Amino acid sequence: MRFLAFDLGAESGRAIVGTLRDGRVTLDEVYRFPNEPVRVLDNLYWDALRLFHEIKKGLLLAVARYGRDIQSIGIDTWGVDFALLGEKDILLSNPYHYRDSRTQGVMEEAFKRVPQDKIFYRTGIQFMPINSLYQLLAYRLQQPSLLAQAKAFLMMPDLFNFFLTGQKASEFTIATTTQMYDPRSGDWARELLTSLELPSSILPEIHPPGTILGTLLPQVAKETGAREVPVIAPASHDTASAVAAVPAQMPDYLYISSGTWSLVGVEVPEPVINQDTLRLNFTNEGGVAGTFRLLKNVVGLWLVQECRRAFERQGEILDYTTLTQMAREARPLVSLVDPDHPSFLNPEDMPAAIQKFCQETGQPVPQSKGEIIRCALESLALKYRWVLDKLEEILRKRLHVIHIVGGGTKNELLCQFTADATNRPVLAGPVEATAMGNLLIQAMALKQVNSLAELREIVRNSCELKVYEPQDTSAWEEAYRKFVGFL
Ligand code: LFR
C-alpha cells in the first residue's frame, strides 16, 4: 500500500511517498521545497498560501509518479504556530513565525493574570515565549480588534488539512504544543483561556492521531489529478511523528529528535506534572497511542544553520559537511555556551552571539569558523547530557541508551559527541523518522498496522542504525562540570 506524507519543517518541506510491503516501508521523496519565513517591516511571517501551493505541487508530482496507487495523505509540521480565520474563512493575517519578536515579555504578562505554576499544573507544558498561548495573548494585547474578528483558530497542519478537505479540526499532538490543552480533561484548557480573556469558542474539536479527517476536495483533486482520497491526521506535530518512529526495542531509552531543534526526552504513559518538572521546565506533549512525550526543547542545529547563514552573508558559502570538518579539526572542549540562552533564539549574527557568550563568561573566545562550530556542537552534546541527568532524576531510573533520529543523525561528529558527553551508546537513525512516523500512522488509520510496537518494528526492518560507543569520557566529565556553571 502507498501513502503520501507532507513533512514541513522550519527550513523546508517535503512530499514523500511511502510504500508498505512485507513489513517494511520504503520512501520516495517526490518533491522538496524551501520554507523561508518572510520579514516584513518589524515582523516575521510564514508564507501560508505559498506553502499550500507547494503542497498541491507535491501532490501533483506524487500522482504523476504513482497515479491511483496513493491511498491517503497526511501532513505534519512544526509546532506552536497557527492561523486565525475570519468571516468566510479568510486568513486574518499571515501566520506569525514563532521567532517573531512580538511575544517578548508576553509570558510575564500572562503570569500577572494567572500564576505560572497554575498554568503548568493545568497544561503540563514547558514555558517558552513561542508557545501559542503567548502568541494568542500577544494578539489580544497588541491587535485586539483583529482577534475579535477571529472565527477559527487553526494550527499550521490543521490549516492545510482545512484547505485540502474543507473540514476544520485540530489534532491532539499539535494541540498540546499550544500550552492551551488540558491533558486531564482531554479538552482545551477553557478556564485558563477565559482567565486570560482569550476566546475558546474559536478552537476546533480535537481528534486523536490517526483520524480520517475527510476526503480531498473535488477542486483540489481536479487541480492535481489526484483521486478524492482520505486525508488523515498522522501525528500532526512533526516531533510526535518522529518519536512514534524511534526504532526502540527495549524500554528505558532516551530519544533525541534532531533537526533545527533537538527534542530530548522519553515516552511516558501519562503526563508527569509535578514540582520537579515545573522547576526544571520540562514539557508533556501528546504522543501516539495514548502516550505522552516528556521532553525538553534544546536549541539544536539552529546554532549551526545560523552560523552558516552568517558566513554566507560574509561571502563564504560553505556546506554542512565542510563546516563539520572544520569543527573536527578544531581543539576540543575549549569554550562552551548554554545553547538555550535567550541570546541564541534569533540573533542577528549567530557567530558573534556565541563569541559574546564566551567572552562574558571569561572563556577563550572562539575565532575561526571551525572553533565556533565546534563550540556549538560540544555545547549541544553537553546540554543533552544535562537533560538526560535531569530526566533520570525525575523518573528515578537509569536510561541505558540514546536513540537519535532525524536530519541531525547525518552529523556524525555530533552523534559521537553525544555518546562521549553522556557516556551512553548512541543508536542513530532513521534520518527520515518524521516521514516514516507520518506514513505509518496513516497505515494504522487504514488498519494496515496494528500497534505502536508493530510500527516500530517496521521502522527497524526498514533502516540501518549506526552505533556510536562513548570514548574519552573523562575529558567530557570535566567539561560537563564547567558547563553546568553556565546554565
Ligand atoms: C520541531 C518543533 C518542536 C517545536 C518547535 C517549534 O520541528 O516542532 O517540537 O517545539 O518545532 O514549533
304 lines ligand 1 (CB under 6 A): no
Q: Which domain holds residue 103?
A: 2-238
Exposed, middle or buried: residue 238 (CB in 10 Å: 0-12, 13-18, 19+)? buried
For the chain, residues with pLDDT lower than 50 are none
165 lines ligand 1 (CB under 6 A): no
79 lines ligand 1 (CB under 6 A): yes
Residue 151 confidence (pLDDT) = 98
Q: Are strands 401-405 and 152-155 parallel, antiparallel or unpaired?
A: unpaired
**Site to substitute for ligand 1 among 238, 302, 305, most atoms within 8 A of C-beta:** 238
Residue 444 confidence (pLDDT) = 98
**How far away, in angstroms, is 239 Cα from ligand 1 center?**
7
Residues 195 and 315 in one domain: no
Q: Is 353 a domain residue?
A: yes
386 lines ligand 1 (CB under 6 A): no
Residues 201 and 257 in one domain: no
**Site to substitute for ligand 1 among 7, 35, 46, 78, most atoms within 8 A of C-beta:** 78
**How far away, in angstroms, is 78 Cα from ligand 1 center?**
5
**How far away, in angstroms, is 173 Cα from ligand 1 center?**
12
CA 382 distance to own-chain centroid: 20
Is 421 in contact with 379 (CB distance < 8 Å)? no
263 lines ligand 1 (CB under 6 A): yes
Catalytic residues: 238
Q: Is 445 a domain residue?
A: no
Is 75 in contact with 240 (CB distance < 8 Å)? no
Q: Is 319 a domain residue?
A: yes
Whether the ipTM is more than 0.90: the answer is: yes
Q: Closest ligand 1 atom to the C-alpha of 80?
A: 12
Q: Which of 235, 232, 231, 234 is nearest to 221 (CA)?
A: 231
Q: Closest ligand 1 atom to the C-alpha of 263?
A: 9
Q: Scan for cell 475579535, then name that residue.
A: 148
Is 199 in contact with 142 (CB distance < 8 Å)? no
**How far away, in angstroms, is 79 Cα from ligand 1 center?**
5
7 lines ligand 1 (CB under 6 A): no
Residues 411 and 334 in one domain: yes
Which residue has the CA at smallest separation from atom 2 of ligand 1? Answer: 78
Residue 430 confidence (pLDDT) = 98
Q: Which of 10, 47, 65 is nearest to 160 (CA)?
A: 47
Residues 354 and 463 in one domain: yes
Cα dist from 399 to 134, 250, 380, 406, 468, whole Å: 33, 11, 19, 20, 16
Q: Is 378 a domain residue?
A: yes
Residues 64 and 27 in one domain: yes
**How far away, in angstroms, is 237 Cα from ligand 1 center?**
8
**How far away, in angstroms, is 9 Cα from ligand 1 center?**
8
Exposed, middle or buried: residue 155 (CB in 10 Å: 0-12, 13-18, 19+)? buried
Whole-angstrom distance, CA of residue 217 vs CA of residue 175? 24
Q: Which of 63, 67, 81 is nearest to 10 (CA)?
A: 81
Concatenating the DSSP letter of every residue in 411-465 gives -HHHHHHHHHHHTS-EEE--TTHHHHHHHHHHHHHTTS---HHHHHHHHHHH-PP
- Total domains present in the chain: 2
Which residue has the CA at smallest separation from atom 9 of ligand 1? Answer: 239
Residues 158 and 265 in one domain: no
Whole-angstrom distance, CA of residue 315 vs CA of residue 329? 22
The residue among 238, 263, 292 that closes a domain is 238
Which residue has the CA at smallest separation from atom 8 of ligand 1? Answer: 78
430 lines ligand 1 (CB under 6 A): no
Which residue has the CA at smallest separation from atom 7 of ligand 1? Answer: 78
Query: In sequence order, what E strands does 202-291 have?
Result: 206-207, 211-215, 230-233, 253-258, 261-268, 283-286
Q: Is 93 a domain residue?
A: yes
Whole-angstrom distance, CA of residue 242 vs CA of residue 260? 14
Residue at 162: amino acid letter: F
Is 175 in contact with 155 (CB distance < 8 Å)? yes
Residues 234 and 260 in one domain: no
CA 365 distance to own-chain centroid: 31
The residue among 195, 218, 238 that closes a domain is 238
Q: Closest ligand 1 atom to the C-alpha of 238?
A: 8
Residues 148 and 275 in one domain: no
Q: Is 322 a domain residue?
A: yes
Kindly state the DSSP code that residue 103 receives in the 8-state scheme: G
Whole-angstrom distance, CA of residue 395 vs CA of residue 386? 14
328 HSE (CA, 13 A, CB side): 12
Residues 266 and 178 in one domain: no
Whole-angstrom distance, CA of residue 358 vs CA of residue 338? 10
Q: Is 443 a domain residue?
A: no
Cα 253–Cα 254–Cα 256 angle in degrees, nearest 5? 140
Domain containing 225 — which CATH number? 3.30.420.40
**How far away, in angstroms, is 425 Cα from ligand 1 center?**
25
Q: Closest ligand 1 atom to the C-alpha of 237?
A: 8
Is 470 in contact with 423 (CB distance < 8 Å)? yes
Whole-angstrom distance, CA of residue 437 vs CA of residue 462? 12
The residue among 198, 214, 238 that closes a domain is 238
Q: Is 437 a domain residue?
A: no
Whole-angstrom distance, CA of residue 40 vs CA of residue 341? 26
Residue 230 confidence (pLDDT) = 98
Residues 350 and 366 in one domain: yes
Whole-angstrom distance, CA of residue 401 vs CA of residue 420? 12
Residues 230 and 257 in one domain: no
417 lines ligand 1 (CB under 6 A): no
Residues 220 and 274 in one domain: no
- At 49, is the secondary structure helix, strand, or coil? helix
Q: How many helices (H) and strands (E) does the chain have?
A: 19, 21
351 lines ligand 1 (CB under 6 A): no
**How far away, in angstroms, is 354 Cα from ligand 1 center?**
22
Residue 235 confidence (pLDDT) = 98
